[in-house]
Structure 1
Amino acid sequence: MRLRGIRRSRNVEDRRRSGGARRGAGVGGIGLLVIVAVAYFAGVDVTPLLQNGGLQQESSEPRQLSAEEERAAEFTSQVLATTEDVWSQIFPAQVGRDYTPPALVLYSGVTQSPCGGASGATGPFYCPADRKAYLDTEFFTTMSRQLGASGDFAAAYVIAHEVAHHVQNELGILPEVNRARQAAGQTEANALTVRLELQADCLSGIWAKAVGGLMEPGDLEEALNAARMIGDDHLQKRAGKVPQPHTFTHGTSEQRSRWFATGFQTGDMRSCDTFSTNRL
């Protein structure tokens, strides 16, 4: 992805210097408590893939960021800026009103939000209570080394996906789905969440189409591959389990990549209505 000369967003809150969790030899104690999904808007739970590595305990001691962490922050900030530019153009054109962008919180290991505590193991997530997306940039390494989803555009897709949840919140879709989930049984609630997540994938595809001038050869395949690698069926197989569709919360690999492609091909938010279709 060509980001040279792209501005950095001012809507980034960096908490990584204030401590976080130390990564150690195993997951235990506090680590076990914080490795949980964050309600219905949680990210990808990669806990089953954590074996010898993990989180041990929190540290409140300030620390210096590595050069790699600084580069990850710059990359994230620039990608976030592209989402701001894209949705600030699309909202007036397709929704008929202005777009208010979210803030993005960078953290290391463990953090707190109004939606609860989170760790890098749960993956990035969006909290509608404070209208912020949360990201441990170490997740990019997890994607590349453990999930087989490498490449800068794969990482950009993850950021765009969480921003897409904010778009859903702006449109009133998130609170509506949350109310429906609360009134439903677990299986039905999971099915609603799948539709929510697939819509976010489609909206991410719309973002990708809009930033097409920044894309390099292979970028589209990186995003599609990332969508496949974090499909529920694939993650459950990687964890040594037989896929259980009634437990899915994000959609299958095929569904996630196809809905992303739908948004990329059309650029039209109307094509992302996953709640009215009979074919997910």
Structure 2
Amino acid sequence: MRHRSIALIVATALLAVGCTAEIPGRPRAAKVVKKEASSPTVQVRGSDNGPIDKLAATALTDIEEFWTDSFQSTFNKPWKPLTGGYFSVDTADATAKPPPCTQKAADVEGNAFYCPAADAIAWDRASLLPVLQDRFGEAAVVVVLAHEMGHAVQNRMGITPEAERREPDRYPTILTEAQADCFAGAFVRNVTDGKSPRLDINADALDKALGALITFRDPVGTSPEDEQAHGSAFDRVAAFQDGYEQGTKFCSQMTVQNRQFTQRAFTSTTDRANGGNLPFDDMLEAVTPDLDGFFKDVATKAGKTWQSPRAEASQTEPTCSGDQGPVAYCPSDKTIKIDTKEELPDLHKEFGDYATGTLIATRYAMAELAVLGKPTEGEKASAAALCLAGAYTGAVFQRQDGFGLSPGDFDEAVTVLLQFDYAARDAKGGNPVDPGFQRVARFREGVFEGAKKCGV
């Protein structure tokens, strides 16, 4: 919040479209290749024929087949396969042959990219794809390669490096990266719908794969106008979800006029100095009265009298009404009980101050549902609370003065929503919205469409 932080260094390879990052996280296995899958038809140059290149070849075979069908239906012209092909690079081998757009194999280290000049895709098989697989599952490899193919799609749309240089205001990097994420989401939807011949990605694998997408976000505080901007975690997940839900046609029509980005640069030296994070106690002191004011306004507009819930500190996880996690709405005495001793302070420290704000916002949202006479139990109530928390976040984001969001706050919300279901539990601690992918989607609805979208 303004008055926080997960900093990841992201760099883009020169002369190529790609991303590089240190990959944090815990190992998470998630198989995505179907047992009965037919052999891939894509040929990988420089391959060692090991498991990671076989996975890449399988994924790219299905991605190419998807675009053979989808490009025709989206753009009314046939898909042209990549003329430059696919390159696997062993960056641990100093004698390895470099792929197009690079001078040496080491230039690919930690990277996967599309090279427009050669119409080719290359990846580091030593320190990128296997690390993604270990940390986020095989689906993460699929998502990264589908994103790079998205850049090949753009090249066939006429969004070339020359066009980007000629019209930077029309094709800023943050937009072209979002569009590639969108195209990746459209492909993954094809997989989860069971239409992919060789791949199968379930909800759990998808949630883990989005962890990889978040890893490749820009450092907190990067300006959206930066010529190398790829987007915040929230913006990248949002673009992916739009492709997943809306399809390739929607992605193809993304422009600077119709795409809203939440990424912001720091606007004060104080905010930059603390990474945009308020200390835990300061955050509680600031956010609880602000939430109270926002939800009072929502209730008043609905013709109801808002009854301000009393925010109370708890030395243990609240248990007044089922297991809602470290923050709970207690209908019996209309209080919001907050664990100020253990788990919530730990989450605050690990993810940032707006992870805390997001969880508290959903419990105030439960109080709002009660005031409006809406159900506070069941999955619809859980979804409404997520949406209302998003509506509050969107309202704060629009402010010019006073209590507001800092760069990175949206990312903290996405991270806590993906990794925990606390924000998506009802007032009895049950019926969570699952998977995390859907939790983020409901939150986003509120951010961009306001409280009316939440059914209140």
**What's 1:131 paired with?**
119
Task: Write the letter of the residue equivalent to 1:166.
Answer: A
Task: Write the letter of the residue equivalent to 1:155.
Answer: V
Matched, 1:92 2:72: yes
1:137 Cα offset (Å): 1.9
CA distance in 2, matches of 1:5, 1:14: 25
CA distance in 2, matches of 1:5, 1:104: 24
1:225 Cα offset (Å): 2.0
CA distance in 1, matches of 2:140, 2:129: 9
Counting aligned pairs with the same residue, the percent is 23
Q: Equivalent of 1:158, from 144, 150, 163?
A: 144
CA distance in 2, matches of 1:279, 1:180: 22
Q: TM-score, normalised by structure 1?
A: 0.67
Please say which of residues 252-261 and 112-121 is displaced more in the overlay. Answer: 112-121
Task: Write the letter of the residue equivalent to 2:34.
Answer: L
CA distance in 2, matches of 1:264, 1:78: 21
Q: Structure 1: which 4+ aligned runs deviate by more than 4 Å?
A: none
> Closer, same or farther in 2 for the Cα pair 1:180/1:8, shift >3 Å?
farther
**Residues 13-57 of structure 1: CA distance to partner in whole angstroms, max 9, x if unpaired?**
3325xxxxxxxxxxxxxxxxxxxxxxxxxxxxxxxxxxxxxxxxx
**What's 2:132 paired with?**
143
SS in 2 for 1:3: coil
CA RMSD of aligned residues (A): 2.5
Task: Give structure 2 stretches of 5+ with no counterpart.
Answer: 1-31, 195-199, 262-456
**What's 2:25 paired with?**
none
> Closer, same or farther in 2 for the Cα pair 1:144/1:211, shift >3 Å?
closer
1:114 Cα offset (Å): 4.1
1:122 Cα offset (Å): 4.7
Whether the 8 Å contact between 1:113 and 1:127 is mirrored in structure 2 is no
Matched, 1:244 2:184: no
> Closer, same or farther in 2 for the Cα pair 1:77/1:15, shift >3 Å?
same
> Closer, same or farther in 2 for the Cα pair 1:120/1:3, shift >3 Å?
farther
Please say which of residues 246-255 and 80-89 is displaced more in the overlay. Answer: 246-255
> Closer, same or farther in 2 for the Cα pair 1:9/1:129, shift >3 Å?
farther
**What's 1:104 paired with?**
86
Please say which of residues 193-202 and 98-107 is displaced more in the overlay. Answer: 98-107
1:93 Cα offset (Å): 1.5
Task: Write the letter of the residue equivalent to 2:117.
Answer: A
1:210 Cα offset (Å): 1.1
SS in 1 for 2:219: helix
Task: Give structure 1 stretches of 5+ with no counterpart.
Answer: 17-64, 235-242
1:3 Cα offset (Å): 3.0
**Residues 78-110 of structure 1: CA distance to partner in whole angstroms, max 9, x if unpaired?**
100110111111112221111122221111116
1:76 Cα offset (Å): 0.7
Greater share of helix residues, 1 or 2? Answer: 1
**What's 1:14 paired with?**
45
SS in 1 for 2:172: helix
1:272 Cα offset (Å): 4.6
**What's 1:279 paired with?**
260
1:113-128 matches, within 5 Å, as 113-117=99-103, 119-128=107-116
**Residues 173-199 of structure 1: CA distance to partner in whole angstroms, max 9, x if unpaired?**
124543336xx6xxx69x811111110
Task: Write the letter of the residue equivalent to 2:187.
Answer: W
**What's 1:203 paired with?**
183
> Closer, same or farther in 2 for the Cα pair 1:74/1:201, shift >3 Å?
same
Task: Write the letter of the residue equivalent to 1:261.
Answer: Q
Aligned length: 212
CA distance in 2, matches of 1:269, 1:176: 24
**Residues 110-132 of structure 1: CA distance to partner in whole angstroms, max 9, x if unpaired?**
65344233534351011111111
Whether the 8 Å contact between 2:89 and 2:98 is mirrored in structure 1 is no
SS in 1 for 2:239: helix
CA distance in 2, matches of 1:162, 1:174: 14
Higher relative contact order (CA 8 A, sep 6+): 1
**What's 1:73 paired with?**
53
Q: TM-score, normalised by structure 2?
A: 0.43
Whether the 8 Å contact between 2:186 and 2:244 is mirrored in structure 1 is yes
SS in 2 for 1:116: coil
Whether the 8 Å contact between 1:168 and 1:174 is mirrored in structure 2 is yes
> Closer, same or farther in 2 for the Cα pair 1:134/1:257, shift >3 Å?
same
Question: Which structure has the bigger radius of gyration?
Answer: 2
1:24-43 matches, within 5 Å, as none
**Residues 141-187 of structure 1: CA distance to partner in whole angstroms, max 9, x if unpaired?**
34366xxx511101110111111111111111124543336xx6xxx
Matched, 1:178 2:209: no
> Closer, same or farther in 2 for the Cα pair 1:200/1:111, shift >3 Å?
farther
